[in-house]
Amino acid sequence: MAPVDQAAEAVACADTVVRRGIATLAGAEGGADRHQVLAYDVAHAAAAAATAHAALAYGERGELEARIACAFVADVVADLAARLVGRDRLWGADPSELSPAAAFVTRHRDPQTLADLCGNEGPRHLADEFELARETFHRFAENEIRPHAEHVHRNNSDIPESIIGGLAELGGFGMSVPEEYGGFATGGESDYLGMVVATEELSWGSLGIGGSLITRPEILTRALVHGGTEEQKQRWLPALASGDLLAAVAVTEPDYGSDVAAITTAASPAPGGWRVNGVKTWCTFAARADVLMLLARTDPDRSKGHRGLSLFVVDKDAANGKGFVLDQDGGGRLEGRPVDTLGYRGMHSYELAFSDWLVPSQNLVGGEEGAGRGFYLQMRGFENGRLQTAARALGVMQAAYEAAYAYASERSVFGKPVLEYQLTRAKLARMAVVIQATRQFAYDVARKMAAGHGALEASMAKAYVCRAAEWVTREAMQIHGGMGYAEEFAVSRYFVDARVLSIFEGADETLAIKVIARRLTESA
């Protein structure tokens, strides 16, 4: 039997165990909210299994691809077995159901087998048009982003305008804007897959001043496309596509992070529009942005939860990353306080305080019919934002892997290059395997989303790859030894940048329990 067929049998065993966990969780009193540890483990196991299926498809493409797929699947099954130890009854599963995969796992987790795979990343198998896009954004990241990345990180500086302008010239801000509104989106596969490819390469350059630049307009764009009036689309989409308008997102609040339905920032009817009062936090890029996508409560009856929320486009003047205070003629005020972070610098995150800030009536997304639909509209943007975050994680992982491989090739310890040691080679091989498998899953999810589904898979991709990015960047830093802890090496930046990935765009725990586990049990 071919190795990839053996891998398929191993994945089938994993699928059986995951299904048992889902069924047990679905039948448990209180479900995922009460049995949170089980829900979390099942969600991540399901995400790993879904990624393994993408790896299997990749493994059908050639001998090297099969080796990569087998190594990934073996790790997935081993991780699942570890989750079952001491909790098999909680899962409602029998560990022996993984026994048919034991020989396969032993063979493909063998240290020397992994060490022999070192240096083989495998082809990406992109179609020519996407390969051309990848090369274009990679060159931009290498020539325009990387030269500024360390300076911005160490000094917590603003993103250079040359990067913003250059990305606008490349069309990076218009990839999700329909062609009829000045963008490049055609409604096909290229809209989503192209975004994944571009985001990975820009994040390879820098997460803080590259990959995240095109995420915020993407979120607002999709909300407008799905719920905006024709007048609103004509007003904002062309300017977003050209980069003339830069956007930020104001959803999270100090007391309400992932629990979006409970937000308290209120928009009250006033002459000419709505008066906004409240505080938002973790508003990335809020100073430099020209518009904010604001989610606010327009129905004072809080018992309505998410049904009382509406979405607004808030115009503002651009400012720098040191904080700002904006005043309106009618007495409204918007204050922005930067929140310093250990990584992910350049974009800057802010706490925003709205005091009687007037938003014109025509800025309510969807017009009068958009009142109360804000939660649903912002989720349309965030669903693809999760896929984009997976792509950002891929870029950071790829950069860390390349840095680790280069350093291991150059650095000698005890008389020979670090790269010649089995442990180093096995680590680098696993890093490359994880990156390629998760990349192929991201491609697969992009195709699903282009076909009108795949929201659950996007959440799975985000959950799995962001955790993987923490491991990959940690090991890349470890391979550098003491120099990995020195700021003069970029790998230290990759490590602190990767840590934010499991926090934003849906905190890992909330994403696993409230989104992935809940949707899995609903369909059980």
Band the pLDDT of 260: cuts 50, 70, 90.
low
How do 412-413 and 416-417 pair as beta strands?
Answer: antiparallel
Residue 323 structure tokens: 């904080």
DSSP per-residue codes, 331-386: S-EEEEEEE--SS--SS-EEEEEEEEEEEEGGGBTTGGGGTT-HHHHHHHHHHHHH
The answer to whether the CB of 59 falls within 8 A of the CB of 69 is: yes
Residue type present at position 259:
D
| Residue-wise pLDDT tens digits, 221-252 | 989 998 999 999 999 999 999 999 999 999 98
Helix (H, G, I), strand (E, B) or coil at 451: coil
Domain assignment present for 167: no
Q: Return the pLDDT at 211.
A: 87
The answer to whether the CB of 491 falls within 8 A of the CB of 480 is: yes
Q: Return the pLDDT at 254.
A: 83
Is the predicted pLDDT of residue 188 greater than 70, yes or no? yes
Q: Return the pLDDT at 257.
A: 53
Domain assignment present for 304: yes
How do 412-413 and 349-360 pair as beta strands?
Answer: unpaired
Domain assignment present for 524: no
Q: If you average pLDDT over residues 352-365, what whole number do you get?
A: 95
Half-sphere exposure of 256 (CA within 13 A, CB side): 18
Domain assignment present for 230: no
State the CB neighbour count (10 A cutoff) for residue 306. 18
Residue at a domain's end among 109, 138, 160: 109
Q: If you average pLDDT over residues 367-393, what whole number do you get?
A: 87
Domain assignment present for 133: no
| Residue-wise pLDDT tens digits, 72-130 | 999 999 999 999 999 999 999 999 999 999 999 999 999 999 999 999 999 999 999 99
Domain assignment present for 59: yes
Is the predicted pLDDT of residue 258 greater than 60, yes or no? no
The CA distances from residue 424 to 66, 414, 418, in Å, are 22, 14, 7
The answer to whether the CB of 292 falls within 8 A of the CB of 250 is: yes
Band the pLDDT of 259: cuts 50, 70, 90.
low
The answer to whether the CB of 218 falls within 8 A of the CB of 195 is: yes
Domain assignment present for 348: yes
* CA–CA dist 443, 61 (Å, integer): 15
When computed from its CA atoms, the radius of gyration of the chain, rounded to whole angstroms, is 23
The CA distances from residue 389 to 158, 250, 310, in Å, are 21, 17, 25
Residue at a domain's end among 109, 137, 156: 109
Residue at a domain's end among 317, 334, 369: 369
* CA–CA dist 258, 293 (Å, integer): 16
Which residue range is the domain that position 256 belongs to? Answer: 247-369
- The mean of the pLDDT values for the chain is 92
Domain count, the chain: 2
In our burial notation (b when 16+ CB lie closer than 10 A, e otherwise), range 9-33 reads ebbebbbebbbbbbbbbbebeebbe
Quick one: DSSP state of residue 265? -
Q: Which residues are known to be catalytic? A: 505
Domain assignment present for 342: yes
Q: At 256, which CATH number?
A: 2.40.110.10
Q: Return the pLDDT at 378.
A: 84
